[in-house]
Chain A
């Protein structure tokens, strides 16, 4: 007799915990062939606000951690992800070879970003020779809480938008890909076991159209990454809402996730701080 498998309940990831949506709602997720896979939580406006609170709460600790420490933790995420290679490959449901390639590329991307933690300031900071007896130094600092609408690519795309936001010290609220959110929740399990402080990454599953506008208008969100928004009207509305508290916005795009990511995804959510100090005896 074959054994009946125990299925996983896919919930949200907020503040390091895995709650169901406070709304009690869910939505069915199917494989590319249309088979039922699981019910994902359908997050509400309240869940989104809870996630922002959690992200804000995590910000001082995470942005105040040493860059070395943040790099070590991102590298640890890569290690944990590598360990779940087979699970992800199965969950991606895209055919084994392509899925394994996607997982490998995701691990490598995490490693790439892990290394940036203590290097971005060397590349983006400057010593400024002002015309006077002053020490003058500019260095990058994280923007704060960033809301991220993840692209359809369920793992590589997701990691490619989350890692650059957090490696520099931001915290984030991510809306997972609506049709394929399962990898995002499994990734949350990886994050939860990688020494990443709770609240640094918060994952919502549900309707993009329902959640994105609230985050775009949220006054305690400092940055907005609209990469995953395909609906140009929704993207425009979100960007207009973001103007209210002058969120830093990354416009929707269709990036090639296999290409060198460059620095833009990090620098868009960095501020530059310049310190002046007089010199004299």
Chain B
């Protein structure tokens, strides 16, 4: 366990969660039509980003494999969509229960493959995954009450492409509403984090889900591109970068495919002088260092009212000094590993640009483990709106600090971004929260909290953060022919 040297924290004994609960296979196939099959593209390895050890070989899906998966989903669609909603509901409830039963195993596997702290995979990801299936299970037989007409119909086969930051949670956000509405799915997990999706395939088998209702194809970008472009896919759902989102929107243009996109963000976390400072500091830390900052809605721009800048930054730096970076499986770890060498390179490059553009860089004294992909919690002060670190999504544990004087200026700066996924407001004044919330061009606004998620609450962005909502009643719309 690496410790920040100036941290006045106790020495903690290592408290690693056992990985024995996970039974890894040396290699994994594609999950098509209820069975694991070989892929015909080159296989690739998935590694533990905290140690760089290989976890398993993963089959690569070619466009022919993707076609087979889409055909299996198409074949299953008739029966699945014809089931009474109450029967689909019971399948999804089973899935939710199986996830709850195997939660620890899934959490450990997620941490191994992704690098996120076990505390987060165990206490945030997995409970939300189960809750999401539980929530949408309940909608399957109530679609007529959702406000989309008496008997809204599903779309057909959904092609879903998800990112590596919350592998299983993003799977849940995609698959649960799709199945509840009567669609069948072909899902491609991220290249660097396929393992929990493949364990989920096993859960589908345990639940007795009819073959072909859920298909998982693993691979890199080409696999996803083949899925999105497949002519027999009726619905495309993507979570990932705005850059790829644009490509997908272009691919889908001119077709009848329904499209939802949940893309990048550059959220402003706005702290007023009357905010409860300690609470705000916790919120800022949670906003940008949760999941190593690999969060599309991360509060990556701190907008602090000028009058409290010094006080807030002092408190924030003191707090960052107590964060514990290291073994993601250790139950005391706050900051885990960066998910991949590629992402680490991107974070490093943008941080260097931040320095070159004149911002001041600060990190707590911090020893990084010798192996694996690591980046210390970092903050930049003296950041101008024109700086690239204030405009581009870094997707890492890097916070850019800007200041404002008036609420109107805070709104102006917060909205001065092509993104619009989320925002945070810290003030003790309720009327100001609501005044700000009215003016912020963002799909989710957190007040005196940050990074809260719930299956009943819609999530999604304005502007170039994408369109469509996931979660809540409105999340059904993405998977219904309405």
Contact = CB atoms under 8 A, between A and B. Distances in A.
B430 A115 contact: no
Interface in B137-165: 137-142, 145-147
A118 B456 contact: yes
B139 A115 contact: yes
A111 B86 contact: yes
A270 B146 CA distance: 19
Interface residues of B, number: 29
B89 interface: yes
Interface stretch (A173-181, A210-218, A272-280): A272-280
A138 interface: no
B59 interface: no
Contacts of B438: 279
Given A118-B456, A277-B431, A111 B89 contact: yes
Contacts of A112: 86, 89, 141-142
A118 B406 CA distance: 39
Contacts of A280: 431-432, 435
Chain A interface extent, by class:
20 to 34
A7 B313 CA distance: 72
Interface string A102-117: 0000001001101111
A281 interface: yes
B135 A118 contact: yes
Interface in B242-296: none
Given A123-B473, A280-B432, A281-B432, A118 B407 contact: no
A117 B432 CA distance: 32
Interface of A, secondary structure class, is: helix
A135 B434 contact: yes
B431 A278 contact: yes
Contacts of B435: 133, 279-281
Contacts of B473: 119, 122-123
A127 interface: no
A118 B134 CA distance: 10
Interface in A88-134: 108, 111-112, 114-119, 122-123, 133
Nearest to B434: A279
A122 B455 CA distance: 12
Contacts of A135: 434
B348 interface: no
Contacts of B430: 277-278
A263 B142 CA distance: 11
Contact of B93 (A111, A278, A279): A111
Given A277-B434, A278-B434, A119 B134 contact: no
B93 A75 contact: yes
B106 interface: no
Contacts of A123: 145-147, 473
Interface string B194-237: 00000000000000000000000000000000000000000000
Interface in A125-179: 133, 135
A117 B455 CA distance: 13
Given A116-B142, A122-B472, 12 more contacts: A111-B86, A111-B90, A112-B141, A115-B141, A116-B138, A118-B455, A119-B138, A122-B456, A123-B473, A135-B434, A281-B431, A281-B432
25 contacts: A71-B138, A72-B134, A108-B86, A112-B86, A112-B89, A112-B141, A115-B137, A116-B138, A117-B138, A118-B138, A119-B138, A119-B139, A119-B456, A122-B456, A122-B472, A123-B473, A133-B435, A135-B434, A263-B145, A278-B430, A279-B431, A281-B407, A281-B408, A281-B432, A281-B435
Top 5 nearest A-B pairs (CB, nearest first) are: A115-B138, A279-B434, A122-B473, A281-B407, A280-B431
Interface of A: 67-68, 71-72, 75, 108, 111-112, 114-119, 122-123, 133, 135, 263, 277-281
